Amino acid sequence: MRYLTAGESHGPQLTTIIEGVPAQLELVAEDINVDLARRQGGYGRGRRMQIEKDQVQILSGVRHGKTTGAPIALVVENKDWTHWTKVMGAEPIGEGEEKEVKRKLTRPRPGHADLNGAIKYGHRDMRNVLERSSARETTVRVAAGGVAKKILSQFGIKVGGHVLEIGGVKAENVSYDSVEELQRRSEASQVRCLDEEASVKMIEAIDTAKQDGDSIGGVVEVVIENVPIGLGSHVHYDRKLDAKLAAAVMSINAFKGVEIGIGFEAARLPGSQVHDEILWDEEKGYTRKTNRLGGFEGGMTTGMPIVVRGVMKPIPTLYKPLQSVDIDTKEPFEASIERSDSCAVPAAAVVAEAVVAWEVANALLETFGHDQMKTIQANVKRHQDEARSF
């Protein structure tokens, strides 16, 4: 599978076209809308989320509730577009209308793509960079991830995400018996944290940051269970699934680090406390005594739950503005405010679920077929039967 996204933060809509989704998959808008709503939630979000009520329109590739095998077009409208039609319109600006088109941006904000993108593409108005580099683009990545989750659900594969840390406050009590329990408990928390005491402290940290005109980041974790053994491959660098997951998580706006399993902790432990001992029984087949490697060995899934963490930096646009330089005058200034989230970590957990689910679903189809769900399901069952008795 593959997908492309198009659209700007204040443009008329956000669009994704998905190719390679098997035929005969039951899919309706609500399968996607549930995650779009989750992405807009979470404590610390700003005023934009009160304007937008994201709902997807399925414009192709689905007929009478089932996929046809053709490309799927998904669209999410920007309600705020009505206030930006002149600023963001596609038509050329008429003579004498320049003054009506306000909000030209010549002052790059530290931590954003503004300056680098302007230099790369030759834009004197950095709004051309800002609008596309905005995290608003993740709306349709979450939509694509909703399709991926629907595919995975047909094989009993479950996806869940939660927050491990915000602003230095770390969750301690994060044990759970299943991904379903993980998801239920994370959704019950305003900050998507399983630790109730830590949740309270995280909310306090977000409030403090907002009062100080500052922002804070954190760590999110995605867990996927019931994954077949052998997704990905050891034979070449670009076929290793753990590498693809790392790239997917790092591609999320403001993410600066990725761990799989115990991650960087492995550097501080002996091998006997890092690797997962292999077990076998007649009912389950091959399993592991532990899951320190997060469901991966040699770039392939082991059958244990996939565990991926991502680090999100604080949002760089602050009410306590940082210093920058105007590209026209070269004069120093204090950076302007384009958005007001003080913390988007809970929302980022939903985006992380989406991009990880996409890569796992894609690997599943690469291994077991693309054409129609019935054939793929038969291939997966045969593989699991053979792996159990291997």
Q: Using CA atoms, how far apart are residues 118 and 103, in angstroms rounded to an integer?
A: 16
Phi, psi dihedral angles at 15 (to 5 degrees): -135, 140
Write down the pLDDT at residue 316: 81
pLDDT in tens, 143-169: 999 999 999 999 999 999 999 999 999
Tokens of 185: 């408990």
**Known binder of ligand: residue 342?**
no
Q: What is the mean pLDDT of residues 108-123?
A: 95
pLDDT of 87 above 70? yes
Is 63 annotated among the ligand-binding residues?
A: no
pLDDT at 104: 85
Mode of pairing for the β-strands spanning 323-325 and 255-260: unpaired
Q: How confident is the model at residue 49 (pLDDT cuts 50, 70, 90)?
A: low
Backbone angles phi, psi at 280, to 5 degrees: -145, 140
Tell me if 206 is assigned to a ligand binding site.
no
% of the chain at pLDDT higher than 70: 95
pLDDT of 61? 98
Is 133 annotated to bind a ligand? Reply is yes
Asked whether residue 382 is marked as a ligand-binding residue, the answer is no
Please enumerate in sequence order all residues whose Cβ is within 8 A of that of 367, keeping only pairs 6 or more positions apart, or say none.
228, 230, 231, 383
d(CA 233, CA 236): 7
Q: What is the pLDDT of residue 53?
A: 87
Residue 317, annotated as binding a ligand? yes
Q: How far apart are CA 298 and CA 122, in angstroms?
A: 43
Instruction: Tell whether 278 is in a known binding site.
Output: no
Q: Is 136 annotated as a binding residue?
A: no
Q: pLDDT tens digits, residue range 294-353?
A: 999 999 999 999 999 999 999 887 777 789 999 999 999 987 565 567 899 999 999 999
Measured CA to CA, the distance from residue 41 to residue 180 in angstroms comes to 19
pLDDT band, residue 213 (cuts 50/70/90): confident
- Residue 313 assigned as binding residue: yes
pLDDT band at 131 (very low <50, low <70, confident <90, very high): very high
39 marked as part of a ligand binding site: yes
Tokens 């230095």 correspond to: 168
Residues 377-390 pLDDT 10s:
999 999 999 999 99
> Is pLDDT above 90 for 101?
no
16 labelled binding-site residue: no
Q: Is 339 annotated as a binding residue?
A: yes
352 marked as binding residue: no
| Domains defined along the chain, listed by start | 2-388 (3.60.150.10)
